[in-house]
Chains A and B, each alone.
Chain A
Amino acid sequence: MEKPASGPDPARLTVALLGNPNTGKSTLFSALAGIPTRVGNYPGVTVEEKLGRFSHRARQIDLIDLPGTYSLAPQGPDERVAVDVLHGRLAGVPRPEVVVVVADATNLERNLFLATQATELGLPLVVALTLCDIGRRRGTAIDTELLAERLGCPVIALATPSGEGLAELRDAIVAGPAAGPPAPLGLEGAAPEDSRPAAARDAIRRYALIERLLDGVVRRAPAAKPLPEDRIDRLLTHKLWGTLVFAAVMLVVFSSIFWLAAPLMDLISGGMEWLSARVSDLLPPGAIRDLVVDGVLAGIGGVVVFVPQIALLFLLIAVLEGCGYLARAAYLMDRLLVGVGLSGKSFIPLLSSFACAIPGIMAARTIENRRDRLLTILVAPLMSCSARLPVYLLLTGAFVPDVAVGVAWLRLPAVVLTGMYGLGVVVAAAVAWLLSRTFFRGPPQPFVMELPSWRWPQAAVVLERAREAVWSFLQNAGTLILAVSVVVWALSNYPRNEVRIEADIEAQQTQLADRLTDAALPPAERAELSLEVASLETPEGRAAARLAAIQRGSLLGKTGRFVEPLVRPLGWDWRIGCAAIASFPAREVVLGTLAVLYNLPAEEAEGTALERRLKAARWDGTGRPVFTLPVALSIMVFFALCAQCASTLVVIGRETGSWVWPVVTFTYMTVLAWLGAFATYQLGTWLGW
C-alpha cells in the first residue's frame, strides 16, 4: 500500500467498491481494473484486502474492493474493516474519495439497504446496478433516472457479458469529486418503540424509506415463460433430484482433487526427480549437493506438488460460488454440522480435506463466520488425507490377518481401513463439539444466509479465483514450507560422525550374525536375515546402511531414541519413534524413513521388501517381533490422528494469521494421537490379538 499523498492529488483518485456479498462485485472489479495489483490482508486482521488500478480521462484510479457487507452497522470483522476504510480510520489505507455501491438489480430492495446507508457517509456516491440483463429477462424494468433523482447520486445500469454501462460508470466515478456527496435522505416515518438498539430502529425505518424510494421505480411484468435459470433452480431445490445433484456435485469435487489431480502431481514429482538427477550429475558429491538436491529441490517439489489440488479445488469452488450453488450446498448440509458446533459452510472444506488438508483449509476462506472458520480449520487435518493411505495400506497388508468378520465377504483389513477413516471423522466431530462448547463459546452465531438464484459463472472471475489461491499459497505458505523442509532435512542428516556411522554398521552386522546362530529361528525369517547380511556386503546395501546410520546419529534420530520411554507404552521401539518424528515434514515420509532405518533404499517404501523387513524386525537383543497386530494398529491410529505434516501447520498459520493456531493444532492432535495409539496397543495386547 502506498502512502497517501498529502492533500488530494488531481491526477489520482481513490475509489472504494462497496456491496453485499453475491452482487457481482468481483465481476465488476475485474471488468474495471483487470487483475488486482495487490491481494493480501489488512494490517492486523485476516480480512482480505484487494486493490486494483486503472486510468480513465487522465486520472489514475486506485480501486479498493471492500469485503462484502450487508450493513454499515458492523457486526463481524469484515464489516468493521469496510466501515473503517470508508471513514479513513484504517492506518495505511487512504480514505476513498468516491464510493461505488454495487447493487444487484434483481434484488434491489435488500441491496438498497446498504446503498442508503452509504448516502450518509458524506462521500460522493455512484450506484452500480449489476445483473440488469437478468433482471430485464425476468421482466423487471428499473427507472434508473428516477432512482438517481431520489437517491441524489448517479445510478448506472450494468450488464456483464455485453459490458453495458461500464463507460458510463467510469465517467461517473471521475466526475464524483466534482458532484459531491448526495443530500441526506432523512430516515423519517414512525419511530418504533425506543427500547430497541439504534441499529434495529434504523433498520425498520430504513426499509420503510426504501419502500418509498422504490415506489414507481421498479415495474414488474410477469415473465412470459419460466426462464432456464428458474427451471434449474427448481431442479436444484427438488427434494429427490436436488439431493442427487448435490451428491453428484460433491462426488465431482472430491474425486477431482483425489484422482484428477494425481496425474498432474505425478508429473510434477517426476519433473522434480529428473531435475534432481540432472543437478546431482552437475554438482560434486558432498554436503552442498545433498543440501541442494535432498534439501532445497525436494522441498520445492514438496510445495509445488500441492498446486494441482489447490487450483482444481478453487476452480470448482469459484464455479459453484459463481452459479450460486455454494450457498445452497451449505444450506443442505447445515443441520448435519450444526450439531457438532460447525455450520453448513464447513462441508466442502472438510470433504476436500479427505484428499488433502491444505486445499481444505484454504477452502475455509468461503466461511464468513470467524468462529466457524477457525473451528473448521482446526479439525480439518483430522480427516484421513491421501497421504495417510499408503501407511494404512502397508500396515494392514502386512499385519492385519485376512479373515472374515461375521459374513464371508466382509474382510478384516477392509474393516480396519474403513475404521481408520471413520476414526478421523468421529474424533473431528468430538473435538469440534467440545471446542464449540468450551473455548469457542459465545453468543449465538446468526446463520442468516442469502441463497442466490442460479446464474452462469463468469470465466474471468473463476480463473482469477484459482490463480489467486495458487499464487497466495506459493507466495505465503510455499516459501515457509520450503524453509521448514530444509531445516528438517538438516536435522535428520546432521550432525554426522564417520567413526560412529562405521561403528553403527559393525554393530548391526554383529547383531544379525548373533540372531542367525539361533537354531530355533523359523526358516522364513532365517532367509530374510541371511538376505540382510548378504546385502550389507554389497556396495548398495552398504550405502543404504550408511544412510540409516546417518539418520540414527542425526539430531532427529537422537530425539527418537531420547523419546523412546514415551513411545514404549504405544508398543513402539525407538526406530518407529524415530520414523514418526522424522515424518514431521509429511506423513507419507514415515514409510520412506522406516525403509531407511531398516537399511532399505527409500524407493522400496511401498514394496513388499519393506513389508518383509518389518515382519522380520526384532526388539534389540531379543527374538521378540517388533511389529505385531496391536503395534501395527497403534501406528495406524497414531498416524490417523497426528499432525505430522509441516505444510498443513504452515498453511494454518498463514490462513489464521497467527502462529498460535498451528501450535494448538499440533499439540492437541499429537496428544490425541498418543492417547489413541496407547489405548489401541494396550487394549489389543490385553485382548491377546
Chain B
Amino acid sequence: MAIATLTLEDLPVAAEARVADVIGDDAVAIRLLEMGLTPGVVVRVMGRAPFGDPLELQIRGYRLSIRRAEAARVTLASD
C-alpha cells in the first residue's frame, strides 16, 4: 500500500493513472463507480475549467466531468 495516497484531484492535466479505489459508500461514491471509475481503470485528466474546477476526464473512451471534491475521493494506484 502506498504511504501518501495520491488522489485524482492531485493528477496534473494530461497525466494518466490507474484508479485504486473510490472512498465512501454514499450516493456520490456509487455514481462515480457506475460512471466507470472502478478500481483498475485507466483515467486521464484532459483539462480543468477556467476557475480550476471541475475537471475533465477521459475514461473508458468517453469524457466525464467531476468536481474536485469528488475527484479527491478517487484514490490512485501507485504504479
Contacting residues of chain A (317-361) with chain B, CB-CB under 8 angstroms: 327, 331-332, 334-336, 338, 344
Across the interface, do B51 and A451 meet the contact criterion of CB distance under 8 Å?
A: no
Pairwise interchain contact B27-A204, C-beta atoms closer than 8 A: no
Q: How far is the CB of A204 from chain B (nearest CB, A)?
A: 5
Instruction: Report whether B62 and A75 are in contact in the complex, using a CB–CB cutoff of 8 Å.
Output: no
- List the A side residues contacting B30 at CB < 8 Å: 73, 75, 197, 199-200, 203
A336-B50 Cα distance, complex, nearest whole Å: 10
Residue-wise, chain A 252-275 has the 8 Å CB interface mask toward B (1 for contact) of 000000000000000000000000
Task: Given A207-B36, A446-B28, decide whether A110 and B41 contact each other with a Cβ distance below 8 A.
Answer: no
Residues of B within 8 A of A222 (CB): none
Q: Which residues of A contact B (CB under 8 A)?
A: 70-71, 73, 75, 106-110, 113, 192, 195-197, 199-200, 203-204, 207-208, 237, 239, 243, 327, 331-332, 334-336, 338, 344, 443-444, 446-453
Q: List 13 A-B contacts (CB under 8 A).
A: A192-B39, A200-B22, A204-B38, A207-B38, A208-B38, A335-B51, A443-B26, A446-B28, A447-B70, A448-B28, A448-B35, A451-B56, A453-B63
- 6 new A-B contacts, CB < 8 A, other than A196-B25, A446-B31, A447-B54, are A109-B36, A110-B35, A239-B50, A338-B67, A443-B28, A448-B70
User: How close is A401's CB to chain B, nearest CB, in angstroms?
Assistant: 40
Over the window 1-41 of chain B, the binary record of Cβ atoms lying under 8 Å from chain A Cβ atoms (1 yes, 0 no) is 00000000000000000000010011111111111101101
A197 CA to B35 CA in the complex, in Å? 16
Nearest-CB distance from B6 to chain A (Å)? 20
When chains A and B are docked, how far (Å) is the Cα of A486 from the Cα of B51? Answer: 49
B46 at the interface (CB under 8 A from A): yes
Q: Are B38 and A450 in contact (CB under 8 A)?
A: no
Question: Is A450's CB under 8 angstroms from B64's CB?
Answer: yes
Contacts of A204 in B (CB 8 A): 33, 38-39
Contact flags B45-62 to A (C-beta < 8 A → 1, else 0): 011011111101000111
- Give the number of chain B interface residues (Cβ < 8 Å): 35
Instruction: Determine how close the nearest CB of chain B comes to the CB of A632; give it in whole angstroms.
Output: 38
Contact partner, B34, options A70, A239, A443, A444, Cβ 8 Å = A70
Q: Kindly state the separation between the CA atoms of A334 and B70 in the bound complex, as whole angstroms.
A: 14
A444→B28 contact, CB < 8 A = yes
A107 touches B62 (CB 8 A): yes
CB-nearest residue of chain A to B69: A444
Contacts A196-B25, A443-B27 given; indicate if A331 touches B54 (C-beta within 8 A).
Answer: yes
Closest chain A CB from B77 CB (angstroms): 15
B46 to chain A: which residues have CB within 8 Å?
Answer: 237
- Nearest chain A CB to B27 CB, angstrom units: 5
A203 cross-chain contacts in B, Cβ below 8 A: 30, 33-34, 38
Question: Known interface pairs A75-B31, A447-B67. Does A110 touch B62 (Cβ–Cβ under 8 Å)?
Answer: yes
Q: With both chains docked as a complex, state the minimum distance between the C-beta of B67 and any C-beta of chain A, in angstroms.
A: 5
User: What chain B residues lie within 8 Å of A73 (beta carbons)?
Assistant: 30, 34
Bound Cα distance from A204 to B39, whole angstroms: 7
Contact B67 A110 (CB under 8 A): no
Whether B64 lies near A335 (C-beta < 8 A) is no
A200 to B29: give the CA distance in the assembly, Å. Answer: 8
Which partner residue on chain A sits nearest B55 by CB separation?
A: A331
- For A109, the closest partner residue in chain B by CB is B60
Which residues of chain B are within 8 angstroms of A451 by Cβ–Cβ distance?
Answer: 56, 63-65
Please give, as numbers and ranges, the residues of chain A lying within 8 Å of B49 by CB-CB distance.
331-332, 334-335
Which 10 A-B residue pairs are closest in the complex by CB-CB distance? A335-B51, A203-B33, A451-B63, A109-B60, A107-B62, A446-B28, A207-B38, A335-B53, A449-B65, A71-B34
Q: How far does the Cβ of A3 sit from chain B's closest Cβ, in whole Å?
A: 35
Chain B residue at minimum C-beta to C-beta distance from A76? B27
Residue of B nearest to A104 (CB): B62
A497 and B26 CA atoms in complex are apart in Å by 67
Once the chains bind, are A110 and B60 in contact (CB under 8 Å)? yes
Q: Which residues of A are found within 8 Å of B39, using beta-carbon distances? A: 192, 204
Which residues of B lie under 8 Å from residue A71 when comparing CB positions?
31, 34
B62: chain A residues within 8 A (beta carbon): 106-107, 109-110, 450, 453
B12 to chain A, nearest CB (A): 15
Q: Judging by beta carbons under 8 Å apart, are A450 and B61 in contact? A: no
Q: Taking the nearest CB of chain B, how far is it from the CB of A190, in angstroms? A: 11
Contact partners of B60 in chain A: CB under 8 A = 107, 109-110
Kindly state the separation between the CA atoms of A108 and B47 in the bound complex, as whole angstroms: 23
Residue of A243, A327, A452 touching B50 (CB-CB under 8 A) = A243
Chain A residues with CB under 8 A of B50: 239, 243, 332, 335
Report the nearest A residue to B41, measured CB to CB.
Answer: A207
B13 CB to nearest A CB, Å: 10
Q: How far is the CB of B65 from chain A (nearest CB, A)?
A: 5
CA distance A113 to B30 in the complex (A): 13
The docked-state distance in angstroms from the alpha carbon of A453 to that of B61 is: 11
CA separation between A290 and B56, bound complex, in Å? Answer: 60
User: Are B53 and A334 closer than 8 Å at their CB atoms?
Assistant: yes
Contact with A70, one of B28, B29, B31, B66 (Cβ below 8 angstroms): B31
Q: Which of chain A's residues have a CB closer than 8 A to the CB of B36?
A: 109-110, 113, 207
